[in-house]
Amino acid sequence: MAKILPKPLRPLASRLAALLGLEQGIVAPLTVGGETLGVLAVSGVGLTEADVPAVSAFANQAAIAIQNARLYEREQQRVARYARLLELSRQLRLSLDLSETLNRICQTIVEDLGWQQVIFSLRDCETKTSRPVAMAGYDAETVARTLALPPTPFEELGILRDEFRISHSYYIDHQHRAAIADYPDELIVTVPAPELKPGGWHPDDILLVTIEGHEGILGFISPDNPVDGQRPTLEMVQELEVFADQAASAIENARLYETEQKRRHIADTLRQVAAVLSSTLDPKQVLDLILEHLAQVVPYDSASVMLVSAPSAGPELAPSLLSGQALNTVKGQAALRVVAGRGFPDIARTMQVAIPVTEDVLFQEMLRTRQPVTLTDAQEDERFQAAGETTFVRGWIGAPLVVKGKVIGLACSGRRGSA
């Protein structure tokens, strides 16, 4: 009996014989294509050597039937899985909710594609940052902690090279862990593999499925811990890439939709502003309405309107909290004066600000180009004058006010964070 059993089971031959009650009988292997599926055990007092060929032939037929049943079951499971995937693909094409789409992709990877965990990260090419946006297969605490992480700066990854490539994705095994030193640690959330198999998946292995859009890599799908414990095959990777393509379409569609919604919102707001402004001739009310509606288009922490005043008859002083000194408007020189403001700690003090036009480098740039100016960090830009309690401003946008081709002032808004 030991001879027909698979090697790992041979030491258990006598115990199996006792368990099956085989005192006198015939045991034939169930073998198909060199693979032993099990054994067929027949016991009986009248069995002889002459019965062996018949039992062996029956065992061969039984093995083929078992193998066919298994293959049929697998095929049925595969067909059902692809039907679910096709239905999900159809639903994803119709969805404009990006968060829901990405979470459903992650859930499907865990439930249908043979992975125990997955993390989905997106890139922001403007800010050169990456952040996790969807996960599946992790405990609630890990998901909450990971998704709450701030955006992580990234550089172009050196690991995306041919030696690691499978199809359009990249598999880096644990022996090449040093190669992914430039991949953000925050985007690698590993869990212990339940059972390590020789030559199989290792907890420190990483698979990056690229999400590619028209303008380059939009992000990555990074699955972990395959259910079968083996390294990813080409078929497994290509299945993931189908969802990466779906994700790329969903991301770009969502961004286009968001852009269009913003444009419509801005257009609607501008129409409302025009209607409201045309209903009043009170200058102060007009300026206050401008700042009120500006917040609907450009969220801000502080905003002001500054107009160019006529040359003064004598010197005037305006406080500057940055320098602790006064800003002088030289006699006979035009100045920018704050005529309306919101969000400042001391609005009365801000309203006293008057800056000589020739000394405001940013305004001179607007005079020359007739275009807005954006500062990512105003406090680090030597052109910015932090007058009138604006030392808290980081992100800053200033736009010239142009009437009949002439710049009469500017409207500006500031954020405590970057622009």
Is residue 89 domain-resident?
Answer: no
- Considering 44, 74, 104, which residue would you say is the last residue of a domain? 74
What amino acid occupies position 266? Answer: I
Lowest-confidence pick of 43-52, 239-248, 338-347: 43-52
> Does 69 share its domain with 211?
no
- More confident: 175 or 116: 116
pLDDT at 119 over 90: yes
Q: Any residues with CB less than 8 A from the CB of 308 and at least 6 apart, and which?
A: 334, 335, 336, 337, 357, 407, 408, 409
Is residue 270 domain-resident?
Answer: no
What CATH number should be reported for the domain holding residue 125? 3.30.450.40
> Does 39 share its domain with 114?
no
Show the domain range for 383. Answer: 280-415
Is residue 385 domain-resident?
Answer: yes
- Considering 223, 256, 289, which residue would you say is the last residue of a domain? 256
DSSP three-state, residue 212: strand
> Does 244 share its domain with 101?
yes
Q: In this structure, are residues 318 and 309 in contact, taking their beta carbons and an 8 Å threshold?
A: no
pLDDT for 3 equals: 55
Neighbour-count burial of 290, counting CB atoms closer than 10 A to its CB (0-12 exposed, 13-18 middle, 19+ buried):
middle
pLDDT for 353 equals: 82
Lowest-confidence pick of 18-32, 119-133, 213-227, 249-263: 18-32
> Does 103 share its domain with 251?
yes
> Does 34 share its domain with 135?
no
DSSP three-state, residue 346: coil
Is residue 40 domain-resident?
Answer: yes
pLDDT for 190 equals: 59
Q: pLDDT, tens digit, for every residue of 57-108?
A: 998 999 899 988 888 887 887 777 777 777 777 776 666 678 888 898 899 8
Q: In this structure, are residues 173 and 181 in contact, taking their beta carbons and an 8 Å threshold?
A: no
Q: pLDDT, tens digit, for every residue of 264-273?
A: 887 887 787 7
- Copy the structure tokens of residue 391: 């030392």
Q: In this structure, are residues 355 and 335 in contact, taking their beta carbons and an 8 Å threshold?
A: yes
Q: How many domains does the chain have?
A: 3
- Considering 195, 223, 256, which residue would you say is the last residue of a domain? 256
Q: What is the mean pLDDT of the chain?
A: 79
Is residue 86 domain-resident?
Answer: no
Is residue 267 domain-resident?
Answer: no
Q: pLDDT, tens digit, for every residue of 175-193?
A: 876 666 656 555 566 555 5
> Does 250 share its domain with 101?
yes
Q: In this structure, are residues 26 and 47 in contact, taking their beta carbons and an 8 Å threshold?
A: yes
From the CB of residue 192, how many other CB atoms can be counted at a distance below 10 Å? 8
Rounded-to-integer distance, Cα 102 and Cα 134, Å: 6
pLDDT at 115 over 90: yes
What end-to-end distance do the CA atoms of the chain give, in Å? 77
pLDDT at 30 over 80: yes
> Does 249 share its domain with 341?
no
> Does 251 share its domain with 307?
no
pTM: 0.55
DSSP three-state, residue 375: strand
> Does 108 share its domain with 140?
yes
Would you place residue 17 in the very low, low, confident or very high pLDDT band (cuts 50, 70, 90)? low
Is residue 140 domain-resident?
Answer: yes
Q: Any residues with CB less than 8 A from the CB of 380 and at least 6 apart, and which?
A: none
Q: In this structure, are residues 166 and 232 in contact, taking their beta carbons and an 8 Å threshold?
A: yes
> Does 101 share its domain with 235?
yes
Lowest-confidence pick of 54-68, 162-176, 275-289: 275-289
Rounded-to-integer distance, Cα 375 and Cα 409, Å: 18
Neighbour-count burial of 263, counting CB atoms closer than 10 A to its CB (0-12 exposed, 13-18 middle, 19+ buried):
exposed
Angle (nearest 5°) at CA 164 between 103 and 183: 55
Lowest-confidence pick of 24-28, 158-162, 166-170, 184-188: 184-188
Over residues 149-165, the mean pLDDT reads 77
Lowest-confidence pick of 105-114, 186-195, 409-418: 186-195
Quote the percentage of the chain above a pLDDT of 70.
79
> Does 101 share its domain with 187?
yes
> Does 70 share its domain with 111?
no
Q: pLDDT, tens digit, for every residue of 317-348?
A: 333 322 333 333 444 578 888 889 888 888 88
Is residue 87 domain-resident?
Answer: no
- More confident: 22 or 69: 69
